[in-house]
A = this chain, B = another copy of it.
Amino acid sequence: MNAAIITIGDELLIGQIVNSNAAFIAEACTAIGCTIVALSTIGDDAQALIDELDRLRAQAPVLILTGGLGPTHDDITKAVLTSYFHDTLVEDHEWLEHLRAWMKMRGRELSDRNAQQAMLPSTCRKLDNPLGTAPGMLFDRDGIVVISMPGVPDEMKGLMRQHVIPYLQRMLEERNESSWEYRTLYSTGIPEAYLADRIGDPATFLHGCSLAFLPNAFGVRMRIGAYGRTQEERAHELDRIEAYLQERAGRWIYGTGSTSLAMRVGELLKEQGGTVSVAESCTGGMLGAAFTDVAGSSAYFEGGILSYSNAVKVRELGVSAADIATFGAVSDVVARQMCDGVRARFGTTYGIGITGVAGPDGGTEEKPVGTVWIGIAGPTGTATKQHRFGPDRRNNRERSVAAALAMLWRMMQGVDDDV
């Protein structure tokens, strides 16, 4: 079953915000067997929305919209859908009560402007939105399903989980069509072209399945797709391709399904009963944030020291001030002392230290912007590695986190042959 996503808002067209809603919706729909055929972003423009509804309904029986449901003048979605379906707005008493209670809880009166949000098209199904003041709307009219949700991410996510996904699952069951199913293998430590060469010509083993290579800061993900009517058929094909890829590149594959290096490392730490602490300079907390992004990470993540200044490196981690003076804060010896220091102080199995020149300033000929030293202290000793990422501050910080997690994973695996 095909579906298309329309995300609405000038802020998206001018690039003021990143469209994370589209990714969330696409992933949730794909996971249950919907095929997203198009993803379109338009401004707060009634005619543009009408044009996209007309264009995309020809490609998909389900159109999922976000945005334009707020209480202000630039929110056009409800008005457009009402006229698109030749409908009229009627007051939803239940929702009006919800709005009153919502405002009361926040010690406010219900303003006329917010009360407008209880006016809903008469033929739409209201989708409860406990987190916000605008409900979702679902139209099943004229052979097309149009689902409209607020653009606020956590409100949209709640509506997806509670209403939209269950509704689409029922549609899929009724239609009983073949669909695509995907599985992702996550690799690190080997570049895309080398991975592709090891795996060989996809034509020789795909046989109707699909394979995509997706490089990012953490490595290269391989996404396998299988097409079939039953979950069993698809799983059988996915297993076949996965086995083929594992046989040729398993050494670099750290996980499969929906995982991340932080999750995988966390699983290994749990299995081994290990713990970890961090000493961060140029990443300023991003590595700790990556560890604790994983629910349940308190089982192995103890904490750490953000040693952004040299004074903190010396005072909190026992880094030698003389070594900083001699070798610089971005050096093998300082990275080593940072990870040894935090490991000793926090009494963890592993200690990780990151020190680098994130940029844009602070680069030298010898240590240009993008130079990062990562150290990991563990039961078998301490290892350090230098990286040269590049000119972009954000990219340098993200890649430093990825490289630290990959280095810990390889150390815990006993794998350490980057290509």
Residues on A facing B (Cβ under 8 Å): 9-20, 22-30, 36-44, 48, 70-74, 108, 111, 113-114, 131, 133, 152-154, 157-158, 182, 184, 192-194, 196-197, 202, 210-216, 221, 223, 225, 278, 280, 282-289, 291-293, 295-298, 301-309, 311-312, 316, 346, 358-361, 390-395, 397
Contact = CB atoms under 8 A, between A and B. Distances in A.
B111 A312 contact: no
A13 B26 contact: yes
A18 B19 contact: yes
B10 A131 contact: no
A296 B40 contact: no
Given A18-B19, A39-B40, A298-B309, 12 more contacts: A14-B30, A14-B182, A18-B18, A44-B212, A114-B193, A158-B391, A280-B288, A288-B306, A288-B308, A295-B360, A303-B309, A312-B346
- Interface secondary structure of A, over-half rule: mixed
A90 to B, nearest CB: 21
A259 to B, nearest CB: 12
12 contacts: A13-B36, A15-B22, A15-B29, A16-B23, A17-B23, A18-B19, A71-B192, A114-B193, A280-B285, A282-B292, A284-B285, A284-B301
Contacts of A216: 17
Contacts of A393: 295
B13 A131 contact: no
B71 A111 contact: no
A118 to B, nearest CB: 13
A308 B394 CA distance: 25
Given A154-B390, A223-B16, A74 B285 contact: no
